[in-house]
């Protein structure tokens, strides 16, 4: 990234005001110790709002909190207190806008068309009073500061990682898009995250290929983020899907807080990590994700350089390493550096890895989708329990029949050699197709893939097809209805 003088000034200011890890003992009231046994009392002065959370003892949020009143189920590690130098009740001043014809900064790496595939989308959320124009440059710069934290941390392990933002061209520079989202004042200022989440979801920010980084114009929280707590070493890990939300209120608008909360949504820090606190943080300082988050948590200084308070994973053994050693914790458990919302580079190599399900990074569309179903379900990474899965999202075309299709589109060409399709069949209006086939885009038309091994139509399992290697930006599943309409639960695509 170009080393602009104004960038150096701003990032140095951010580094001085976002030391999330100096808060020894601030969470003495927390009930976290592995599985939470209860919900602490609110401490509004520090933004520690637990109202609206329940300590989950089972289900997908077991061991952390669940946000009540939000559907589908949303898990969180809980609120984080304001770091030294920041206050929940004291607003951050806006950065000055760049001079006409210039940019204060820009993202070092952008990808594709700026919208396709898994992306982090920045939202400015406000009520009846909007300060969008006043703070637009601030939000862009903070988002770019988050990217600096992720990439500089990757460089410590010999790799490169960038946040895959929704981006736009601003005066010739690639910068994060900042959406202007107005909600009711009552939802904005509620001592409960659920009303705001539901209002944002009602505004349409529900894409399964999005993590939403929320800069909220309120003084309720410092920060809070969704957290899956999924340790599985697989692309189907819940941290690889959305919608998921990370929130920072106006007293904590800083790159460090934003990186911390976004880090939770990307999978940091799992409770089985070597230095995990048991409450989605770490105990080896200095580190963006580490601090004393419970009365029995003991913090130790493993990385004495205080500047590393603005970097991820102090010794790169807990949650972030671009090329972990074979047999290490991160080689066998989920690694945030592998998250599909990050742009890969260096380390274990750019682009998809062998055996990786490439459908997860595509954008889904379809010929038709029933109003109560979702085409985004076909590549959300959720593993079906059966063809009549009633738990996970589904794509269906009822009442339409005849030829229907579902399409995966990538921002850049993918080399593909096989695919797996899981059919939706409810034994009613939606049934397995009479026949189906795969088509790729050759730049001007869709053509059937060559050398297909056959197209089975079994229920309650994936139907695998191998074919001759093809390089394409689009793969289409074309289905011909039989006894009813057609649908899909999941589509996977693989390369060599």
Contacts of 408 (CB under 8 A, 6+ apart): 359, 362, 363, 364, 378, 379, 474, 475, 476, 491, 493
pLDDT score at 99: 60
Tokens 């710069």 belong to 141
100 and 58 in a single domain? The answer is yes
**Is there a single domain that holds both residue 208 and residue 310?**
yes
pLDDT of residue 110: 85
Identify whether residues 420 and 460 lie together within a single domain: yes
Residue 43 included in any domain: yes
- Only one residue has tokens 């594709």, namely 112
408 domain-assigned? yes
CB neighbours of 189 closer than 8 A, spacing ≥ 6? 127, 218, 220
Identify the pLDDT of residue 100: 58
Structure tokens at 290: 């580490």
207 plus 326 within the same structural domain: yes
Q: Are strands 284-285 and 300-301 parallel, antiparallel or unpaired?
A: parallel
- Both tokens of 326, joined, read 């074979």
Domain encompassing residue 377: 358-494
* Buried b / exposed e along 415-447 (16+ C-beta atoms within 10 A): ebbbbbbbbbbbeeebbbbeebbbbbbeeeebe
Residues 385 and 264 in one domain: no
**Report field, pTM of the whole predicted structure over 0.75:** no
Given this model, what pLDDT does residue 102 score? 52
DSSP annotation string for 177-189: -EEEEE--HHHHT
Domain boundary at 279, 314, 346, which? 346
Cβ neighbours of residue 353 under 8 Å, at least 6 residues apart?
none
Q: Which two tokens stand for residue 301?
A: 């200084």
Distance in Å from the first CA to the final CA of the chain? 32
Q: What per-residue confidence (pLDDT) applies to 9? A: 32
100 and 23 housed in the same domain: yes
- What pLDDT does residue 382 have? 83
Does residue 107 fall inside a structural domain? yes
On whether both 310 and 440 belong to a single domain, the answer is no
> At 14, which helix (H) or strand (E)?
helix 5-17
Q: How many residues does the chain have?
A: 496
Cα–Cα distance for residue pair 149/11, rounded to 1 Å: 10
Q: Is residue 398 in a domain?
A: yes
Does the residue 417 lie in any domain?
Answer: yes
**What phi, psi does 80 have (nearest 5°)?**
-110, 140
Together in a domain, 340 and 299:
yes
* pLDDT at site 477: 98
DSSP string, 369-422: --TTS-GGGGGS-PPPSSTT-SSS--EE-TT--SEEEEEEEEEEEEEEEEEEEE
Q: Is there a single domain that holds both residue 341 and residue 368?
A: no
Residue 353 lies in a domain: no
Residues 328 and 388 in one domain: no
> How many whole angstroms separate alpha carbon 137 and alpha carbon 25?
35
- The mean of the pLDDT values for the chain is 87
- Look up residue 465 and give its two tokens: 């097809």
CATH no. for residue 431? 2.60.120.260
CA distance 448 to 468: 11
Q: Give the end of a domain, one of 301, 321, 346.
A: 346
pLDDT at 440: 96
Rounded Cα distance between 208 and 238, Å, is 11
Residue 316 covered by a domain: yes
Torsion (CA) 314, 318, 319, 321 in degrees, nearest 10: 70
Final residue of a domain: which of 322, 346, 370?
346
Q: What pLDDT score does 32 carry?
A: 38
Q: Rounded to whole angstroms, how far apart are CA atoms 64 and 80?
A: 14
Q: Say if residues 485 and 400 touch (Cβ distance below 8 Å).
A: yes
Domain match, 306 and 443 both:
no
The reply to whether 240 falls in a domain is: yes
CB 406 within 8 A of CB 364: yes
Spans of the chain below 70 pLDDT = 1-37, 98-105, 345-355
Which two three-digit tokens encode residue 66? 């669940």
Residues 126 and 55 placed together within one structural domain of the fold:
yes
Number of domains the chain contains: 2
């Amino acid at each position: 990234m170009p080393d602009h003088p104004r960038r150096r000034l701003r990032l140095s200011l951010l580094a001085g005001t976002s030391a999330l890890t100096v808060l020894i003992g601030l969470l003495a009231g927390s009930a976290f110790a592995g599985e939470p046994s209860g919900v602490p009392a609110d401490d509004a002065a520090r933004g520690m709002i637990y109202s609206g959370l329940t300590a989950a003892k089972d289900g997908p949020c077991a061991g952390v909190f669940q946000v009540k009143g939000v559907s589908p189920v949303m898990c969180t590690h809980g609120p984080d207190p304001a770091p030294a130098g920041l206050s929940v009740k004291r607003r951050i001043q806006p950065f000055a806008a760049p001079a006409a014809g210039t940019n204060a900064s820009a993202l070092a790496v952008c990808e594709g068309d700026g919208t396709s595939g898994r992306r982090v989308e920045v939202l400015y959320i406000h009520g009846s009073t909007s300060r969008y124009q006043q703070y637009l440059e601030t939000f862009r710069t903070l988002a770019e500061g988050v990217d600096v934290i992720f990439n500089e941390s990757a460089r410590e392990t010999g790799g490169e990682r960038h946040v895959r933002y929704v981006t736009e061209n601003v005066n010739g520079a690639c910068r994060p898009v900042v959406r202007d989202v107005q909600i009711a004042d009552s939802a904005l200022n509620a001592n409960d995250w659920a009303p705001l989440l539901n209002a944002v979801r009602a505004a349409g920010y529900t894409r399964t290929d999005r993590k939403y980084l929320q800069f909220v114009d309120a003084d309720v929280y410092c920060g809070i983020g969704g957290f899956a707590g999924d340790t599985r070493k697989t692309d189907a890990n819940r941290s690889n899907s959305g919608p998921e939300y990370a929130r920072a209120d106006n007293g904590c608008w800083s790159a460090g807080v934003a990186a911390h909360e976004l880090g939770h949504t990307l999978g940091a820090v799992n409770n089985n990590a070597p230095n995990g606190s048991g409450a989605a943080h770490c105990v080896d300082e200095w580190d963006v994700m580490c601090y004393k988050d419970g009365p029995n948590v003991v913090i130790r200084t493993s990385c004495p350089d205080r500047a590393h308070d603005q970097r991820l994973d102090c010794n790169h053994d807990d949650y972030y390493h671009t090329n972990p050693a074979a047999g290490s914790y991160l080689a066998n458990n989920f690694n945030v550096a592998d998250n599909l919302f990050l742009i890969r580079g260096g380390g274990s190599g750019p682009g998809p890895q062998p055996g990786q399900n490439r459908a997860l990074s595509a954008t889904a569309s379809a010929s038709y989708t029933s109003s109560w179903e979702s085409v985004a379900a076909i590549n959300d990474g959720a593993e079906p329990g059966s063809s009549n899965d009633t738990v996970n999202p589904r794509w269906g075309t009822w009442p339409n029949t005849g030829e229907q299709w579902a399409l995966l589109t990538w921002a850049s060409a993918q080399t593909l050699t096989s695919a797996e399709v899981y059919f939706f069949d409810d034994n009613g209006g939606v049934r397995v197709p009479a026949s189906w086939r795969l088509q790729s885009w050759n730049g001007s038309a869709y053509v059937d893939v060559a050398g297909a091994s056959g197209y089975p139509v079994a229920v309650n399992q994936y139907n695998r097809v191998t074919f001759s290697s093809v390089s394409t930006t689009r793969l289409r599943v074309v289905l011909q209805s039989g006894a009813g309409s057609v649908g899909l639960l999941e589509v996977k695509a693989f390369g060599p």
